[in-house]
Each structure stands twice: as C-alpha cells, then as structure tokens.
C-alpha cells in the first residue's frame, strides 16, 4: 500500500489505532472476541481512539426507529468500560458528541464518486434488505464518506477490521488519496489491522453466517449478548448447531459449528487449537458445549457485574462521556480546520 511518507502523530512513539462499533442491536460475544477484548489487550501497546458509532446507526433508520438510541449508545459505552477499556489509556467517545465527524463527512462526500459508493458490499447487501425501491435513505449509500471521516479525523496508523471488512478501509484510503490529489496533502493513509484470532465468530444457530446484532434481534439462539441472563447464555450454547456425529473428531474435517465452538472456547480461555485437540478429541458434543458454556458464562458474570456498577453511577458515566468527547474533539477540530483550509473554505 502506498504511504504518504508523513510521520505518525502518536503519543510516546505508539502507533495510533481507530475503531468503533455501530449502535444497532446489543453487543454480543462476537463483538467482544473480535473487537472489544482485543482493544483492551492492546491499549498499553497502541494509542487507541475508540467510539460508539451512533450516526452510522441512522443509515438504516428502521433499525433504530421507535427505540431510545441514546440509551443504547450509553449501554455500549458502559460495556466498553466493563470489558476492560481504560478511559485513562484509551480515548473513548460517542461519534455524535464530536460534531467534526458530520462536518468532515460533507467534504469527503463531495469528492467521492458515486460509482465508488455503489460498489460497496454494505450498500449492496443492506440495500436489498431495506429494499432500495421502497425508499432507503441516501445515508446507506453515502456511509463510506462518514466512515472515512471517522478514520481520517484522527490520523490513525491502523484500523482493526475483520478479513471480510478490508473493503471499508480500502475505500477510506481511496477517498483520502482523491482529496489529497485535489486539494493538497491533508490526510494520512491508514493501514488495515487484522485480528490475530477470533475475528469472525459465527452464529450458534447457523455457523455458516457471521454472528450479527441484527440477526440476534430476530433469532434468540443466534448469538449470546453480553448482557444476556447467564442461564439463557448457557442454554444457547448447549443448543448450538454442530453436525450429525456424536462427538469431536480431529482426524476428520471439523464441521463449521464445531470449529466455531472451539474458537469461542479458545478465545475465552486463552488456549490454542493444539490444546483443544488434546482436551476434546473424541469427547462428546455435550462435553465441548459444557466447557464453552462454563468459560463464556464465567466471563459474562464478571462483565455484567462491572457493567451494572458503571451504569448505576450516572454522574461518573456522564463525566467519562464528556471527557472522552473533549479529548477526541481536540484532535478532530485541528484536522477539520486543515481540511477546510485545503478546500479553500478558510
């Protein structure tokens, strides 16, 4: 990938990381394994800017219509904290609390060819679900410009995404290069950061489909929410799809559902596939599911206790929301001013 040649704007020589989760649906263990837990693990290694993407939630308004979106946003924010994100080490904020995201989006929208937007997988798949002919909003088409603004405001070095989401960062790089070519060098081109493991946790009811917040709202057995009752979480795991065999057989190709359960177990226990082979080869699926359920529910219990402590202290939570927005805004405002000057608006 081509680089701009500019030095990273980081603290204490750390590379800067930017990431967020859209506030549609409630967080589940796929979000935890693939993103939040890894953010917590690397926050001493990187300079993290982590946000709750509430503006992105509006790209499909029917997904949030009639719901208290702000309450869900604050729930996710509190869960970030409960999962181990330290607001003293990481800049943690809500997207709409930093107006520069919306402002820069317009500048980037104006330099982004429509053909680039139409080729995006997100528009093709969600557009079909929402039924474009029925009048889906233009936000669904233009969301890559908002996503690019999210990233480019902070000059990050790395953007963590799953293998299936690399296209999101690639179009941000394309938009950045086009803006720079038109108005002069303004934005740094970020690189993709692929999680080492667990980046793609599959549905418990359909292990060929990625675990999804939207699907979880329609199919209770699809995912395990971070705030699900412990008994419900255990039941969902014990009912997870495997295959027609009676147990785990490492001498043959493992079924997608079995592989998914092993991945979840390994991510929650910090063990390797070789250790799983030694423990579960020849074991019945009930044994495997019971071990996964024990590991998951133990972690969920810890997260939920911390979450309720955080959510119940409204004064402290509001202080952290304000503090995070101010820290993010300090950096975003400088970059937005630079972009305005480059475009001849100041």
For the annotated catalytic residues, the residue numbers are 126, 210, 213
The Cα diameter of the chain in Å comes to: 69
Tokens at residue 232, please? 């419900």
Report how far apart, in Å, the C-alpha atoms of 68 and of each of 24, 61, 71 are.
11, 12, 5
Q: Confirm if 89 and 82 have CB atoms less than 8 A apart.
A: no
DSSP string, 306-339: HHHHHHH-HHHHHHHHHHHHHHHHHHHHHHHHHH
Distance of CA 339 to the CA centre of its chain: 26
- State the Cα angle at 281 between 275 and 286, rounded to 5°: 105
What number of other Cβ atoms are within 10 A of residue 67's Cβ? 12
Q: Kindly list the strands in the beta sheet with 91-94, ordered across the sheet, starting from the edge strand earlier in the chain.
A: 91-94, 47-53, 16-22, 158-160, 191-193
- Non-local (6+) Cβ contacts of 210 within 8 A are 30, 164, 200, 201, 202, 203
Residue for token pair 């924010």:
77
């Amino acid at each position: 990938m081509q680089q701009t040649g500019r030095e990273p704007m980081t603290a204490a020589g750390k590379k800067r990381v930017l990431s967020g989760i859209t506030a549609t649906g409630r967080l589940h263990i796929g979000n935890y394994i693939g993103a939040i837990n890894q953010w917590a693990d690397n926050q001493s290694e990187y300079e993290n800017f982590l946000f709750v993407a509430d503006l992105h939630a509006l790209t499909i308004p029917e997904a949030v219509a009639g719901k208290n979106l702000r309450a869900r946003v604050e729930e996710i924010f509190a869960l970030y904290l409960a999962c181990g994100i330290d607001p003293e080490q990481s800049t943690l904020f809500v997207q709409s609390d930093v107006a520069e995201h919306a402002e820069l989006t317009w500048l980037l929208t104006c330099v982004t060819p429509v053909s680039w937007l139409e080729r995006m997988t997100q528009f093709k798949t969600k557009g079909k679900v929402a039924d474009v002919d029925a009048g889906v909003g233009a936000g669904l088409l233009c969301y890559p410009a908002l996503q690019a603004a999210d990233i480019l405001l902070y000059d990050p070095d790395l953007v963590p995404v799953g293998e299936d989401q690399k296209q999101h960062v690639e179009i941000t790089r394309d938009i950045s290069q086009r803006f720079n070519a038109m108005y002069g060098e303004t934005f740094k081109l970020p690189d993709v950061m692929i999680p080492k493991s667990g980046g793609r946790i599959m549905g418990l009811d359909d292990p060929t489909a990625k675990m999804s917040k939207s699907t979880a709202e329609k199919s209770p057995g699809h995912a395990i929410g971070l705030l699900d009752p412990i008994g419900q979480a255990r039941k969902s795991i014990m009912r997870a799809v495997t295959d027609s065999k009676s147990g785990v057989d490492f001498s043959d190709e493992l079924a997608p559902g079995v592989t998914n359960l092993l991945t979840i177990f390994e991510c929650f226990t910090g063990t390797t596939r070789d250790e799983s082979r030694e423990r579960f080869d020849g074991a019945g699926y009930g044994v495997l599911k019971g071990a996964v359920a024990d590991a998951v529910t133990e972690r969920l219990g810890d997260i939920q206790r911390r979450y309720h402590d955080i959510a119940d202290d409204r004064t402290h939570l509001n202080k952290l929301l304000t503090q995070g927005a101010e820290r993010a805004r300090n950096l975003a405002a400088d970059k937005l001013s630079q972009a305005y000057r480059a475009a001849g608006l100041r």
